[in-house]
């Protein structure tokens, strides 16, 4: 599987010339708990969330210190050991991965607690294969905004958690003070202010401490909800701007994909069907001239024209199948790909596991991407075998179709304007999906596509 490039072409290093789908945190419709959401949760739900927030903050107050200490230690070791033969780079790489893991846990914690409609934090996708591509993606990950917002949320939750722990202790002490007169205590220590007063003041101090502790705990729970929403939930303006950017990219890709497809159809008609039909017309003209003088020769010419006509019909049928696959609508992606694999000139190992039907746009985008890839493999890759894997995936709460096509050919695929891979990339992006191409010289070549089912 390669593109329209010759086998000795320079390998492509860009998986897609177009910007990827929103990284890390996509702007998803806000649920009932998000700012400006149309529905407001009930009081019981809000009360449960605040209690859950306090319990989580108490845990984060302890675990957050450990996590932040590990992060600081990795960063310090990485910077300090850089002069030592670059050993510090290993610690810095671990630091970036630890940052991402910590932020990912924070996103999951906040979403599970408040149901803001946040998608799972996603790593910055690698846009280039090989070690250089990994380094580039690691650098982009280290400055990823959503990841650092998650770290900021962890830091704030840790500070609030360290405040929750003594307040819980003060609450317990206040309750104990209410029963201090029964114990005959001569003097007691008031919680929070830590002042010693006579035992006669124990009940009053306990009531005041109880009210103050509860008020502070409720305030911390409310503050945590406000701060996490402000840090992690995109603003309406940011969501609209992201949606407009994505829609613009998809529109441009759809227009480009249409132009590539139109050019392909014109080329196939001009180079294939049209010359064959012209030949049929000329053959019939010759037969007409010979039908009186040499009926046998005329009959042979008519047979030749008949054969050429059937070949032209076959080419037209294949061309129409490249525009619209009726079996895809009638029987689904699995059956359509099975028919495609049966017609392939290169043996295909097909592995399709799709649990449900997706939108027509999504299935068509994946189908034609695989079809064009197999065509390119037969034309350019010198491959003896191809493998097609298709799966249904749940990517950060979004149900999507994922496909991977790999061949054992010579590699060296690259995206050429108007070429097969150009059409694939634009069609996939127009459907809201992403692509990744890996085709070093010498092979193998692999192309991965992922399209949301609701596209």
Q: If we measure between CA atoms, which residue out of 216, 219, 163, 45 comes closest to residue 115?
A: 45
Q: Which two tokens stand for residue 416?
A: 């050429």
State residue 263's pLDDT score.
65
Quick: pLDDT tens for 372-406. 888 888 877 788 888 999 988 876 667 888 899 98
Taken as a whole, the chain contains a residue count of 455
Question: Beta strands of 323-378 (E only): which ranges?
Answer: 348-353
CA distances from 182 to 118, 159, 211, 265, 290 (A): 51, 37, 21, 94, 128
Predicted local confidence at residue 150, as pLDDT: 93
Q: What angle do CA 403, 433, 329 make, to 5 degrees?
A: 65
Query: Considering only CA atoms, which of 106, 103, 99 is closest in space to residue 70?
Result: 99
Query: How many degrees, rounded to 5, is the angle at CA 148 between CA 146 and CA 150?
Result: 70
Q: Of 438, 386, 435, nearest to 407 (Cα)? A: 386
Task: Identify the pLDDT of residue 129.
Answer: 67
Is the pLDDT reported for residue 259 higher than 80?
Answer: no
* pLDDT confidence band for 207 (50 / 70 / 90): confident
Rg of the chain over Cα atoms, rounded to whole angstroms, equals 33
Give the span between the Cα atoms of 89 and 77, in whole angstroms: 9
For the stretch 307-354, pLDDT in tens is 777 777 766 666 665 555 667 777 788 888 888 888 888 888 888 888
List, in order of start, the domains of the chain with CATH numbers. 247-452 (3.30.565.10)
Half-sphere exposure of 95 (CA within 13 A, CB side): 20
- Spell 133-143 as b/e; 16+ CB within 10 A means b: beeebbeebbe
Sheet holding 445-452, edge to edge: 348-353, 386-395, 398-407, 445-452, 434-438
- Does the pLDDT at position 116 exceed 90? no
Q: Supply the pLDDT for residue 14.
A: 35
pLDDT score for 3:
40
Comparing 46-50, 187-191, 417-421, the range with the smallest average pLDDT is 187-191
Kindly report the three-state secondary structure assignment for every residue of 197-261. Answer: EEHHHHHHHHHHHHHHHHHHHHHHHHHHHHHHHHHHCCCHHHHHHHHHHHHHHHHHHHHHHHHHH
Tokens coding 307: 């054969």
Range name among 47-61, 142-156, 421-435 with the lowest pLDDT average: 421-435
Sign, CA torsion 261/262/267/268: positive
The answer, yes or no, to whether residue 98 has pLDDT greater than 90, is: yes
d(CA 260, CA 4): 13
Question: Per residue in 3-25, pLDDT tens?
Answer: 433 333 333 333 333 333 333 33
User: Taking all residues of the chain, what is their mean pLDDT, rounded to a whole number?
Assistant: 76
Give yes or no for residue 177 having a pLDDT over 50. Answer: yes
């Amino acid at each position: 599987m390669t593109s329209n490039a010759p086998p000795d072409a320079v390998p492509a290093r860009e998986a897609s010339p177009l910007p990827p789908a929103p990284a890390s945190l996509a702007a998803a419709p806000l649920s009932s708990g998000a700012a400006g959401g149309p529905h407001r949760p009930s009081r019981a739900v809000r009360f449960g969330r605040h209690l859950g927030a306090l319990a989580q903050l108490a845990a984060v107050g302890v675990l957050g210190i450990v996590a932040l200490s590990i992060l600081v230690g990795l960063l310090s070791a990485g910077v300090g050991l850089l002069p030592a033969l670059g050993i510090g780079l290993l610690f810095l790489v671990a630091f970036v991965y630890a940052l991402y893991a910590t932020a990912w846990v924070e996103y999951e914690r906040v979403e599970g607690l408040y149901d803001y409609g946040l998608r799972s934090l996603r790593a910055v996708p690698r846009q280039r294969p090989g070690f250089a591509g990994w380094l580039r993606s690691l650098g982009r990950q280290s400055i990823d905004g959503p990841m650092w917002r998650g770290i900021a949320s962890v830091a704030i939750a840790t500070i609030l958690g360290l405040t929750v722990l003594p307040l819980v202790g003060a609450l317990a002490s206040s309750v104990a003070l209410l029963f201090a007169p029964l114990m005959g205590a001569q003097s007691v220590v008031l919680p929070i202010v830590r002042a010693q007063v006579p035992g006669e003041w124990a009940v009053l101090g306990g009531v005041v401490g109880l009210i103050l502790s509860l008020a502070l705990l409720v305030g911390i729970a409310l503050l945590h909800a406000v701060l996490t929403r402000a840090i992690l939930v995109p603003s309406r303006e940011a969501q609209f701007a992201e949606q407009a950017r994505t829609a613009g990219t998809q529109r441009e890709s759809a227009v480009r994909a249409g132009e590539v497809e139109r050019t392909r159809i014109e080329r196939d008609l001009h180079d294939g069907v049209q010359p064959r039909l012209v030949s049929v017309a000329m053959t019939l003209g010759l037969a007409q001239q010979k039908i009186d003088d040499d009926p046998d020769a005329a009959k042979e010419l008519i047979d030749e024209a008949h054969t050429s006509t059937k070949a032209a019909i076959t080419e037209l049928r294949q061309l129409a199948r490249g525009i619209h696959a009726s079996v895809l609508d009638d029987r689904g992606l699995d059956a359509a790909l099975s028919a495609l694999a049966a017609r392939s000139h290169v043996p295909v190992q097909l592995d399709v596991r799709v649990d449900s039907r997706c939108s027509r746009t999504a299935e068509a985008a994946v189908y034609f991407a695989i079809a064009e890839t197999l065509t390119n493999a037969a034309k350019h890759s010198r491959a003896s075998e191809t493998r097609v894997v298709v799966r249904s995936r749940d990517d950060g709460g979004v149900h999507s179709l994922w496909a991977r096509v790999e061949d054992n050919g010579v590699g060296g695929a690259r995206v050429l304007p108007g070429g097969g891979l150009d059409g694939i990339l634009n069609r996939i992006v127009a459907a809201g999906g992403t692509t990744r191409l890996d085709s070093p010289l010498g092979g193998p070549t692999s192309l991965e596509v992922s399209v949301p089912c609701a596209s």
